[in-house]
Structure 1
C-alpha cells in the first residue's frame, strides 16, 4: 500500500460542489483506505496499491454519485514530492506558482507550445508555470489551458501542493 494523492478536476468551481466530508465518505465507501481531504478544492490522500487504479476508482464513484464525469489525477506522495521539489521558478509576491497535471496524453505538449512571456517548463508528465498574479485566466498559458486542456488537465498552486504533502 502507498499513500496516493487524488486531485479532482473542476470541483467546487463552476457549480459542482463536493464537500470534504462527502468526498471522504464516498472514497472510503469505494474501497480506498484511510481517506484524508485537504482544503476544499478537491484534494484527497488515500491508501491504495496503485495511483492510476485509485484515480479510476474515485472517478467511477464520483460519476455514480454526481451523475457526471469528474476527472481525477492520481499520484503517489513520493512522486508529488518530486514534482514540488523540481519546481524550477523563483517564488515571489508577484507570481503564482502552478503545476499543470495531464489527464490525457499529449495535452501538456500542446499547451507548452504556447508563445508566452510567462515562465513555462514541460518536465516529464507535468507543466511548471509561473504566472503574474491576477492574470491566470487571461494570460497566454491560462487561455491555452482553458482552450486545449479544459477537460484534460488539472492545475494546482504549488503552495496548495505543499499543504497536501504536509497532510500526507
Structure 2
C-alpha cells in the first residue's frame, strides 16, 4: 500500500458540493484504507494499492455520484515534502500568498516559457510538475487563473497555499 495525498480540483466552490464524509466513503468503496480528509477543499489522505488507478477511479466515482468531474492529483508525502522544500520564493509572515499548484503532468520547457513570458506580476516558477507561485496581490486579484494555467502549461492542476501543504505533510506522517 502507498500513502497518498489526493488533491481534488475545485470542490466546494461554484456549486460543486462534495461533503468530505462522502468523499471518505467513496475512497473506502474504492478499497482505500486509513482514509482521512483535511478541510473541505478536497484534500484526501489514504493508502492505496495503485495510485494512478485509484486517482482515475476516484474521478469517475465522483462524477457518477455527484454529477461533476474533478481531477484527482495525488502525490506521496515525500513528493509533497520535496515540493515544499523546493519553493523558491521568499516567505514572509503572509504565507497564504505562497502557493504550489500541483499539475497532473509536467509541462514542456516551451510551455513554461510561454507562461513566464506573459508578464504577470506574480512570481512564478515551474519545478517538475509543480507550479510555484507567490501572488503579488493575493489569489483573488490575480490574472493567473486555472484556465490560463491549463492553456499555457497544457495540464489541469490544483493549488494549495503553503500552510495547507505543510499541514498535509504533517498529517501524512502521523
Tell me the TM-score normalized by structure 1.
Answer: 0.87
Match of 2:148 in 1: 147
Is 1:115 paired with 2:149?
A: no
Match of 2:15 in 1: 15
Contact 1:27 1:35 in 2 (8 A): yes
Q: SS of the counterpart of 1:132?
A: coil
Is 1:136 paired with 2:139?
A: yes
Contact 2:105 2:129 in 1 (8 A): no
Q: How does 1:11-160 map to 2 (within 5 A)?
A: 11-94=11-94, 96-104=97-105, 106=107, 109=112, 110-133=114-137, 135-140=138-143, 142-143=144-145, 145-149=146-150, 152-160=156-164
Tell me the TM-score normalized by structure 2.
Answer: 0.84
Contact 1:112 1:122 in 2 (8 A): no
Which runs of 5 or more residues in structure 1 are unaligned? Answer: none
Query: Aligned partners of 1:58, 1:72: CA distance in 2, in Å?
Result: 7
Contact 1:52 1:75 in 2 (8 A): no
Deviations 1:103-151 (A, max 9, x none): 3553873534432232211111111110134x324324x24x3334288
Q: CA RMSD in A?
A: 2.2
